Structure 1
């Protein structure tokens, strides 16, 4: 492949990643709207029903069909991944309702730093002093956002941090199972396990929904499927290390939705802290790419 073709693929991957962040931000705004009126478990359950149908459709179209997608070398880890992701989604939606999109995403953006910090003990990867410095700076940013010890500290502020931790573990397990399972297999298990788990919980919290909100729910399900499809395409045409930094744009779009549609505020400490977290995260991803190229 020529350098020009690679650059073209990278540009396409970047645009697909940008589109992914826009779609996921819209999804988060709709999730907040619905979760303010209905039980979080029910909202996430219906969303995962559609997600499961989507991954099963993709699996059926692939070579080997659903039978091939079910075959995993790490079935219990795949189950754990599915449970982690669906739990993380529930926790994050609660954060949207309690804290808003701006502050929730400002804290959640630390998840790449958590992945870098935990990659050593979980995956046995080496993390050098430069990345450890970036990780510490990023967590300083999180402390600036949370402001522990300042006035009355709300325990709800820790909810998006828990979500980031769960998503980091999910990401690390995804990297681990990739040693034996294809992306399509992991994607299938994520959707089906999540849908099954949420059905066992969410059915106990079923509530009648208005016609208008069913429209929003359908839009939420479509954005979830479209967002994941765009993400798959982005990673298919470009290296992850080249396009991953653009995932931080979700903080910008989601914050815009929170500010202009939900009337949220952008406090100075949140802006400063989020800036540190994003800068540290981008540096960490860059160092990871450099180490991979050197290796």
Structure 2
């Protein structure tokens, strides 16, 4: 291979990584925007109504792609696991928006930042992945960050805080299940997630429904559009660049959460929340850096 060809390949790889990072940052920004918009909506509308209308828009947008994949639907691998994934996805979305009714956006995001920590721990138990003592130490440090942010006491451990933490755990288990179903087409995975929240919202809607005005209906549509665009950005990011490169940029979510919380809702994050978030981020980044280093060592090791 010529020198110029090598330069071209490295340039293409670098461009792909930069594009992946840019898409991840854009996706995280859109997710944070959608979360802030959802917090605005659940202040005046039931959570089940948000679940219904927010999921209806992405399903309508994905309808054509779902139709093209219709032949694969009857042959989906492990259908009960597919159903569990949809249930977990619906539970974590519902938990998030229930929690933000009562808690500042930055607080809820802090609990969800612990998800990569939980995934590392759960992957060792359920996927039999090897987790060394360094990563276990990072998991414990991250859990300490959660405890600092939660400030467990009779006064601070409230139901909204526990719901947010439960949502984070649901999201972690969702990631584990998704790893187990990695041969399922991306469109099917996305569609089942939105179908789950849509179904729950549809069942619960008659029990609590407030007819939205035209302006608020537009906000529901906007929330749905943001959610599908954010999902497409993050999925494309993971295809352009290694996960160990782009996933750490998800921690920029806390920056947007604090900014939206302060400018839109007037929330000033507590010192404990910010300290806990910083500890969680450091522990998570260590895990990702460790994974990247181990991946490089494996790649250069000679076969035995």
- Listed one character per residue, the Cα deviations across residues 162-216 of structure 1 (whole Å, up to 9, x for unaligned) are 11000000000000111x3233332233233432343223343222112221121
Which structure 1 residue ranges, 5 or more long, are not aligned?
A: none
The residue number in structure 2 matching 1:74 is: 78
The residue number in structure 2 matching 1:128 is: 132
Q: Say yes or no: does 1:14 pair with 2:17.
A: no
Inter-CA distance 70–36: structure 2 relative to 1 (3 Å threshold):
farther
CA contact (8 A) 1:55 1:191 kept: no
The residue number in structure 2 matching 1:232 is: 235
The residue number in structure 1 matching 2:302 is: none
The residue number in structure 2 matching 1:221 is: 224
Deviation, structure 1 residue 54: 2.8
Q: Say yes or no: does 1:275 pair with 2:282.
A: no
Q: How many residues align?
A: 291
Task: Give the alignment's TM-score, normalised by structure 2.
Answer: 0.90
5 Å-filtered alignment, 1:151-162, equals: 152-162=156-166
- Give SS of 2:31's match: helix
- Listed one character per residue, the Cα deviations across residues 36-80 of structure 1 (whole Å, up to 9, x for unaligned) are 1010011111111222223333334xxx53323553112211111
Q: Which moved more, 1:258-267 or 1:230-239?
A: 230-239
5 Å-filtered alignment, 1:1-295, equals: 2-60=9-67, 64-68=68-72, 71-149=75-153, 152-178=156-182, 180-295=183-298
Inter-CA distance 140–57: structure 2 relative to 1 (3 Å threshold):
same
1: CA distance between counterparts of 2:206 and 2:290? Answer: 45
Please identify runs of 4+ aligned residues in structure 1 that moved more than 6 A: none
The residue number in structure 1 matching 2:3 is: none
CA contact (8 A) 1:69 1:184 kept: no
1: CA distance between counterparts of 2:157 and 2:57? Answer: 38
2: CA distance between counterparts of 1:261 and 1:124? Answer: 44
2: CA distance between counterparts of 1:290 and 1:199? Answer: 46
Deviation, structure 1 residue 6: 1.1
Deviation, structure 1 residue 276: 0.2
- Give SS of 1:112's match: helix
Coordinate RMSD, CA, aligned: 1.8
- Give SS of 1:260's match: helix
Inter-CA distance 294–40: structure 2 relative to 1 (3 Å threshold):
same
CA contact (8 A) 1:71 1:185 kept: no
Inter-CA distance 152–146: structure 2 relative to 1 (3 Å threshold):
closer
2: CA distance between counterparts of 1:20 and 1:70? Answer: 31
CA contact (8 A) 2:48 2:200 kept: no
CA contact (8 A) 1:134 1:281 kept: yes
Deviation, structure 1 residue 290: 2.6
Which structure 2 residue ranges, 5 or more long, are not aligned?
A: 1-7, 299-304
- Give SS of 1:2's match: helix
Deviation, structure 1 residue 100: 1.6
2: CA distance between counterparts of 1:242 and 1:56? Answer: 32
Task: Give the alignment's TM-score, normalised by structure 1.
Answer: 0.92
CA contact (8 A) 1:16 1:230 kept: yes
